Structure 1
Amino acid sequence: MKFDELGLSEPILRAINDMGFEEASPIQEAAIPVMMSGRDMIGQAQTGTGKTASFGIPVLEKVDSKNYATQVLILSPTRELAIQSAEELHRLAKYMHGVKILPVYGGADMMRQIRGLKDGVQIIIGTPGRVMDHLRRKTIKTEDIHTIVLDEADEMLNMGFREDIETILDQMPDERQVVLFSATMAKAIMDITTKYQRDAQTVKIERTELTVPNIDQYYYDVRRKDKTEVLSRLVDFYAPKLSVVFCNTKAMVDQLVENLQARGYAAEALHGDMKQAQRDRVMKKFRAGSVEILVATDVAARGIDVDDVEAVFNYDIPREVEYYVHRIGRTGRAGRAGRAFSFVRGKEVYKIKDIQRYCKTKIVAQNIPSMADVQAQKVDKVMDGVGAIIDEGGLRDMIDVIENAVNMSDYTAMDIAAAFLKKALESAQGSGEELEEKHNSQARDKGERKHKDRDRRDGKKKRDEKRKAQSRRFDEGQVEEGITRFRMSLGKRHKIRPNDIVRIISSEAHIPGKAIGAIELRDEASFVELPSDMSGQVLKSLKKAKFKGKKLGLELAFRN
C-alpha cells in the first residue's frame, strides 16, 4: 500500500517522500489506521519491520502544534532506541512547524532536559527510569497526554521496568490511547494489556524467517563523501561480473549512477519514478551484461531475478532488517559464490549489529583496499588472462611481429610486454589516488595535532584572538557574503547560552546545527549568523518562539 492511500496529511507525505519510503511496510499498513482511529492497540512485530513509523506517523497526525503541553509519551527500553526514535520522528515532522520532540534518558544532563521540557514539548520519548524521575520532579505534566506508546514492551519487562511502567501508566489521564508494541506476547505483557488497555485491537505481523544464504558479508567504515570512491575501488578489486548497488532514496540512485558513469562504469538506475518500459529496458541490458552495475531502491529491485549477480553493495544501510535479507539474496544464487558489502559510518555500526543478531549471520569488518592492492589484483587478473591465451596456443604470428619489432628498434621484448600490460591496466584504472591522498592527509593531520597538543597555550591565545576579532566584526557591522545576521532581544542577563540558541533554531526552524554560524552574546541581546537563503524560514518559524517564557524578539540585523 502506498502512503498516500492511508489518508495522511500533506506535510507528513512530503517528509515520507524525502526519506525515500515508497510504500508502507506490513506493520505500517496495518497499524497506522488503527492508531489514527484512537483505539488501543497491541502490535506484535519484531525489530526491523518499520515499527517506529508505525506509531510515529499517527502520533504526529494527532498532535496539536499550537498546544505546547505534552500530548504523547513514548517509552523505550534503551537510550539508543529513544534517540533513534526521536531522530526518525524529527525527520517525519520536517514540514510540521511548531512540533517539538524531546528524548529523555539516564546518563544525560538532567537540568538540560528540564530546560527543554519547560520550553514546551508535545512528544516525549524516554526510558522508564528517567521518565519516572521527571514525574517525581513534576517536570513532565500529564494533563494533556492523550497517547502512550510502549515500544519493545517485552524488552522493557526483561530489563526489570515493569513496576516503573505501571507507576507511569497509573499517572496518565483516564481518557487516553495506550499502544503497545512487542515481539512476543509473554504473560507479563498480557497482564499489562488487560490492566491498562480497553478493547485493544491486535495487529500481528507474522515473523519472517530472517535467514541469509551462504554469502560472504563485509562492512566498511566509510565517510559519505568517500562512498563513491570506495565503491569504485571494490568493484575494481573484486571485478564482479554483475553488481547490484542499493540506495535508500531515488535521488541518491540517480546521483550515484551519474557519478559512476562519469568514472567510466556501465551503470544504470532502477527506481519507482521510472516507467515500466524503462525498467524493462534496463533489466534487459543488465541480464545481457551490457550494464554491469545496477543501482536500485528496495521496492524497484523486487523484480530482479538474475543468477549471475556476484556482488551486492549496501551503499546506504537499509532501514529495516528484512530489507537487508532481501537485498543480499540477489547474489549467491544457483549455487554460485556471492559477496555482500555494506558501507557504514559512526553509529550506523549498531544497525550492523542488529542485522547480525536478528539474521544470525556474521558481517566482517574490512579495511578499504589500498591502490596498491587494487593494482596488484588487476595485474593478477591480466596475467591470468595472458596465461590462458598462452595455453590455447596459436601465437606464432604474434611472436613473429614481436621479433620484427625488436629487430627494427631499440626495444626489448620485455619493454613491449610491459607496455601492453600498462595499456591493459589503464583501460580499467580508477581514480583512487584521491582517496589515497585523503588517507595520507589524515595521517599527516594526526601528527600535526600531536604537535599542537604540546603547545596548548598558543592554541588558547589564538582562540581568544579569534573571539576578539569576531566581537569587533559584530561591532563594525561586517558580515560575509551570503550570510544574514539576526538580533535576539535576550542576552546574558536572561541566562541564554549559545547552545540554547542553536537548539531553538534547530528545533523550531528545522535547520541543522552545522548551518548555524557565529553567535555573539551581549548583556541585553544576542546575535547569530545564518545563511541568507534560510532567513525567511527562520523569521517565520521563530516569530513566536520563547526561551524560559520570554519572547526571543528575533529581527534582521544585517544582510550581505
Structure 2
Amino acid sequence: MKTFEELGVAAPILKAIQELGYVSPMPVQEEVIPYLLGQDNDVIALAQTGTGKTAAFGLPILQKIEVEDYQPQALVLCPTRELCLQIADDLNDYSKYIDHLRVLPVYGGSSIESQIKTLKRGVHVVVATPGRLLDLMNRKTVDLSHIRNVIMDEADEMLNMGFTDSINAILAEVPASRNMLLFSATMPQGIAAITKQYMNHPKEIVIGNKNEGNKNIRDIYFMVRAQDKYLALKRIADFYPNIYAIIFCRTRKETQEIADKLIQDGYNADSLHGELSQAQRDYVMQKFRIKNLQLLVATDVAARGLDVDDLTHVINYGLPDDIESYTHRRGRTGRAGKTGISISICHIREKGKIKEIERVINKKFEKGVMPSGKEICAKQLFNLVDQIEKVKVNEEEIAELMPQIYRKLEWLDKEDIIKRMVSLEFNRMIDYYKDADEIETVDEKSSRKDREGGRKRKAEEGFVRFFINFGKTDGLYTNQLIDLVNKCVPGKVRIGRIDLMEKFSFFEVEEKEARRVEKCMNNFEVDGRRIVVEEAQEKGEGKGKEKERKRRSTAQKRFERANGKPGKQSFGDKKRKKK
C-alpha cells in the first residue's frame, strides 16, 4: 500500500491530513488521487458511501488550485444542503495550510445575498446544490468560465431527486476542456446518459464490484407478522444496548408514528422527514450527530446528505421499493473500514425482494432469530457491568461525600449493593419482558399455510372467530375491516385477532356479541356484493376456493329467502379488483 506522499500529495495538504489522523490512503483514494493530479482525465468512480470519497477528489483539486486567481476553479455538485456543508468543511480542513484558499458552500435555505457577497470577494472552490447554483447563474452572480474540475458527488442521488435538467443547464456553462469526476454508489441509466454527453473517454474506477455491497456490513432480515413489526423493532433496539442507528420508514406519517411510539416507550429517539422546517431538521440532525439521540427515524429523502461515520446499525422498517435505495441505506453504516449491521424487518411478501437485493449486491442475507426477553435482559445487564468496570472515577470531586455514603450503606454487604444497583437500573425492562409474549418469526411454508387457511386456529378465550368473504384483493385491510364491523353493527363491538387472506379473512369478536355481529353483517353488501359472515371451524377453516364458494352459496340462498334488500356499505372507498 502506498502512502499519501507517494501518491503525489503536496506538503501543505499532507501536513493538514496528518493532523486529522489520516495515516494511509483508502482504496478509492489510492486509485483516484494520482489520476486526478494529471491533466485531461475524466473519471467515473463507483464506490459506496463512507469509503473516503471526499479526500479522493478533494486533495487533488485543492492541490491544483492557483490561489492568486480569485475565480471559481473547481465546482463540486452534491444533492443536499447537509452534504454540501460537510464537503465544504472537509475541504477547509484539508486546505488549512494553503494560505488564502477560499471554499464557498452554496445551498438553499440560507441567505442568497450573503453567498453573492462572498462570490464577489472571490472564491476558488464552489460546493453547491444544483438548485441554488442555477439560481445564482440566472442572476449572473457566479462565473463558471474558469472551472477546471467538476465533481458530481452522489450523482445517482441527484438524479433520483429530479436534478437532471438543472445539472444539464450547469454543465452547459462550464468549459469543455475541464476535467470531470463523477462519484456514484450505483450505475443507473441516467448516469450513463451524462457520461456520454459530458465526459471524454472517462476512466472507470470501481471499488469492489459494480453495485456490490460493502463487505464490512452484515445484512440480516427478520420475517415477522405485520402486527409484530414495532415489537420486533423494540426487541432489536434493546438487544443492542449501545445502538446508534437510523431507522428508515417509507412515509412521513409512518416515520412520525414510529418515532412517537419509541419516545413514549422511553427510547432516545426523534424523527426526520419532509414536513419539518429547516430549523427543526438542523436541530434534530445536530442532536443525532453529537449522539444525544440513539435512534433517528427517517424517510429516505430526509436522510440524504446526513453524514455520520459511527452508525452501528441501519434498520429498514420494511424494505424500500427500489434496490438502489437499499444500497444507499446500508451504506450509511460500516464506513471508513468499520463494521456495521443492516437489519430489515420484513413481511413474507418481501421475500422475493430480498432475493433480488442479494443478487444485485452479490451478498446473502442472514435470517435473524428474534432474541428472547431473557436474552435481551442478560445483554443489557452485562453491558451495565461492563460500563461500571470502565467508568472513570474522579477521586477528588467525590472524596468529601464518600464518608457519608459509606455510613448510609454500611448495613448492606457487597452482594446486596450490586443486586440493588442492578434492580434500580433494570426492574422496568425485566418486568416488561417477564410478561411479554415471544415474537414468532415467519417462514415461507408456515406463512403459505396461513394464507391458504389450512392451519388450525383457535379463537382467543372469550371470543368467537368468524369467516368473512372479503380479503386483500378486495382492498380490505385491518382498519377497513374494523370500520366495516362498526358501520354494520350498532353499538360498540370489541374486535380481537384479525387474519387477512388474499380472497377472504377471519376476525374475532367477544362471545356475547357474536350472534348480533353475524346477524347484522349478513344484512349488508359492499359495492353490490353481499357480505357473508359465518363462524369459522377449528379444523379445515377455509380449504381454498371450493370451501369459500360453498359458504358463499349457502349464505346467498339464505338471503334470497329473506325479505327486504340488504343495506350497502363500503370500506376505504376501494373497489373490488377485477380479475
Shorter-chain TM-score above 0.5: no
Which structure: greater helix fraction?
1
TM-score under structure 1 length normalisation: 0.44
